[in-house]
Chains A and B, each alone.
Chain A
Amino acid sequence: MHVTISQLSGIVAYEFRMHWRRRSLLVVTLAMTLITVVLAVVTAGEMGQDSMRQLVSQLDQEQGAHGIDVLTFTILFATWAPVGGALAFVLPVLVADTIPLDEQLRTRELLDSLPLAIGVYLAGKVAGVFMAAMTGIVFAAGATAISWWVFVGPYDLVSYLQMWLLGSGALIALNGSLAVLLAAGQPTRRRAALLIIMIWGVGVVALGSVLAGDSNLVAYLSPMRAPIIMRYTRFDAYSSTPVPFLSADTAQALAIGLIEVIIAALVVWSWMRRRAQRA
């Protein structure tokens, strides 16, 4: 196997292990699963009530939607609100320490003595976080899909799994990667978490609402990733089955987010290279 690929896959594999053993991903995954299962139980209790029947008939009349669309909408809406929020805002704070931990644990000196390119190191760290978080997502998606099916009944499973895998995947790839990269220069976990909280706070408030005005471009720069977060909360998306992840605005938000991540990666890469030259 080529050395670079071997190094990359090695970093990914061990970063994956270390993230799971640090328990914070485990807690987030279990919390997302538990909340969704509780919501499934709550919704099951609610299904027999008049308010839900009224909602179904109202949507039937107004939108011409079928019962399964309404049920799928209810399930996706209920699940995505806490999951999307956790992935957009909580996960970045928890994974921000990925690179600073090497400094804090004093493993950096050893890593710097190895024939490891900065790009491979950064890519491995980012991919390791993505793989670790996605594994949790796959578990949560499976467990919650079964619980919805058991407690509430048949629904559009493809849309549901697509929401978990594509929606969550997009949020982890954008916000998780951005957090790992932006916190790369911090010497401690505490400083890394603080930096990401500050950036996310400013990003959500300033870019997401105050400065954005009518500009989608500015709004999509915000770590709120509004089109992705809101994708499964709009009923008009449910007119086709399965509910498509990509629409004009999600594609736009995804593209802007990817550009952000690439720029951050380039800046961090050149900064680390410069630091290595100047050390």
Chain B
Amino acid sequence: MSRHLSRFAGTQNLYSQRPRLAYVAQAARLSLGLVGAAGIVFLAASLARGVPLSLAEVRSLAQASALALVVSVGWPAATAVILGWQQRGLFAWRVSRGALAWPLIVGAILGMGVFLLPGADSVMPWFDRQRAVELGLPLAIGIHCALAFAPDDEPGLEVMLACPRPLAWALLERLAMIWAVFGVIGLAGTLAGMSAMPGQAGETALLRWIPPAALLSGIGAYTTLRTRVAAFGAAITAIIWFVFVFFSSVLLPNVPMIVPLNYLTPVIWPVHPYLQPDHLSGGDYGLNRLCVLLVGIGLVRLAARELRDSERVLLGASRRGRQAGG
């Protein structure tokens, strides 16, 4: 048992064993900050010159961001997965299973099934059957992740904080459980869609729903942890889903837009969760999928970081408020 407990420090322990890895992580965070700063400078310059950023300019920024995200988000995520696998005996999967909202799961399956039915697009002319999985499933996953862990609604919070296991594990194992269940549903839906509509490429079918699902999961989990209210996380997730689904073809570069949105729409496409394969070139679509996926994972990471400050988690007050005796 003590051998297991000594591993609880997670990535910190890894860094203490291999200090160079800590420098890599620091450098990755720094590079992400630099890319962000460069993005703001680019946007400010475009506003100053009165001409929106071009597709090529945004592409180069997106490529730099993707690289920084791969190192700063993808690499720690991979490390976390390895650590999690090594310590899998310490996950409380049974408890996490209790956090699953079965009505939402059943609703997602039914919704996807109805949309996959032959003739669904003739009943709903606005609907494209190829999008049967990508429309509803990411929303269901996002809402589920928003409802997964809210400190104010967690009855055993104080006991969980007193355990030697970091609290973030509770969040991550619940998200993993949600992803496992919805992953199976999504894969089944993808296969069903491919057999119903044989022209589709498998990887495109998967890329249609996995990155938006990751992004909405991150948004849901992070908003809930930040605001402490699960309903708020769910509502924000739903709003973002709504905006990107219904304004999918408007929030694109080269689409005429009123001032000042014409400065913003050209820079949205790298993180547009519902960008369609035919909206931009294949390379740009791939870049978009990578960015969306990594931003989603990054938000999950930020959500887990929110749980590091146990005093804030328990009392809900800000650091400044606590210092002032609040």
Contacts and interface: CB of A to CB of B under 8 A. Distances in A.
Contact of A94 (B143, B231, B258): B231
A188 interface: yes
Interface residues of B, number: 26
A42 B232 contact: no
Interface residues of A, number: 34
A23 interface: yes
Interface stretch (B165-173, B207-215, B235-243, B278-286): B235-243
Interface string B141-152: 001000100101
A198 B242 contact: no
Interface in B212-254: 227, 229-232, 234-235, 238-239, 242
A90 interface: yes
Contacts of B230: 189-190, 193
Interface string B93-113: 000000001011001000100
B153 interface: yes
Contacts, number: 78
A27 interface: yes
B260 interface: yes
A197 B238 contact: yes
B260 A42 contact: yes
Contacts of B232: 24, 27, 94
Nearest to B228: A23
A104 interface: yes
A194 interface: yes
A140 to B, nearest CB: 17
A198 B235 contact: no
Given A94-B232, A188-B153, A23 B227 contact: yes
B153 A45 contact: no
B242 A97 contact: no
B78 interface: no
Contacts of A85: 242
Given A104-B153, A210-B124, A93 B259 contact: no
Contacts of B258: 42-43, 45-46, 49, 51
B107 A201 contact: yes
A76 to B, nearest CB: 17
B261 interface: yes
Counting chain A CB atoms within 10 Å of each CB, the highest count among B153, B235, B260 belongs to: B235
A89 interface: yes
B162 interface: no
B101 A194 contact: yes
A22 B229 contact: yes
A264 B53 CA distance: 52
Given A24-B232, A27-B232, A42-B260, A90 B238 contact: yes
B103 A198 contact: yes
B123 interface: yes
A47 to B, nearest CB: 10
Which 3 A-B pairs have CB atoms at the shortest separation, nearest pair first? A193-B231, A45-B259, A90-B235
Interface of A: 22-24, 27, 41-43, 45-46, 49, 51, 85-86, 89-90, 93-94, 96-97, 104, 188-190, 192-195, 197-198, 201-202, 205, 209-210
Interface of B: 101, 103-104, 107, 111, 123-124, 143, 147, 150, 152-153, 227, 229-232, 234-235, 238-239, 242, 258-261
12 contacts: A43-B258, A45-B258, A45-B259, A49-B258, A93-B238, A97-B231, A189-B153, A194-B103, A197-B238, A198-B103, A198-B104, A198-B107
